[in-house]
Each structure stands twice: as structure tokens, then as C-alpha cells.
Amino acid sequence: MFTVFVTLDIEPGRIDEFAAVIAENAQLSVENEPGCLVFDVNQSTEVPGRFYLYEVYVDESAFVLDHKGSDHFARFVNQSATLVIPGSKRETFAERTVAEKKTEERTR
């Protein structure tokens, strides 16, 4: 599996606008891209305006071709261009080697 970690800092006063834009992108990614397994959006509790994205794809091609090539991703890039503080975007790519999931029995 191919994992993507993204950190974005958002312009002050535009956090709610960004939250709506990224929520739509995340939802459409999971719904419309068979290769997108997870797209979590997290807002920092320590740094105002900082968002962390955690994305898991079946492979790198699903991310590069299917996700980055999608209409909803292009729309997100356009909509977020003035919301993200220039130079703040950081991306880390990884191959997922171990995954643990809670089962219903373990959570009781």
C-alpha cells in the first residue's frame, strides 16, 4: 500500500473555507476512487490553521494517476490555491508495511 502524509498551513481567517474544500475532496476521493482506501483530515490542536492529511492507496499508481488525475482533485487544487500559506505544504510518501485494525470483539 502507498501512504501519503500531508501537512498544510492555512491562511488566518480562511480555515473554515479550507475545511469545507478539503472535506469535499476527501469524501469524493474515498467514494469515487477504488484505489483510495483512507483519506483522513485532521486539524491540529496545537498550531492554529494547520491540517494533517493521512491518505492510503492500494499502490502509488492509484495516487498519482487516479487521485491526482481526478476532476475533484483539480477542483481542490484550484479552490485551495489562495487558502494554503505559500511554502507551507509538506508531503511524505511511504510504503505501508503493517496495518492493525480493531475488531468488534477487541473493542468491547
Quick: pLDDT tens for 4-33: 999 999 999 999 999 999 999 999 999 999
Domain assignment of residue 104, yes or no = no
Average pLDDT, the chain: 92
Q: What is the pTM of this model?
A: 0.86
Residues 36 and 72: beta-carbon distance below 8 Å: no
What distance in Å separates the CA atoms of residue 74 and residue 5, rounded to the nearest whole number?
19
In a domain, residue 59? The reply is yes
Boundaries of domain holding 77: 2-95
Query: What single DSSP character describes residue 12?
Result: T
Classify residue 58: in a domain, yes or no. yes
State the alpha helices, DSSP H only, in 33-95.
60-61, 71-80
Does 108 map to a domain? no
> If pLDDT is split at 50, 70 and 90, which confidence band does 36 have?
very high
Yes or no: say if 35 and 59 are a contact pair by the CB < 8 Å rule: yes
Which residue in 46, 55, 1, 44 sits closest to 19, CA to CA?
44
Whether 100 maps to a domain, the answer reads no
Residue 104, pLDDT score: 62
CATH number of the domain bearing residue 41: 3.30.70.100
Minimal CA–CA distance to 49: which of 10, 23, 106? 10
The β-bridge partners of 38 are: 56
Answer whether residue 80 is part of any domain: yes
Asked, for residue 76, whether it belongs to a domain, the answer is: yes
21 part of a folded domain: yes
Q: Looking at the 3D structure of the chain, how many domains does it have?
A: 1
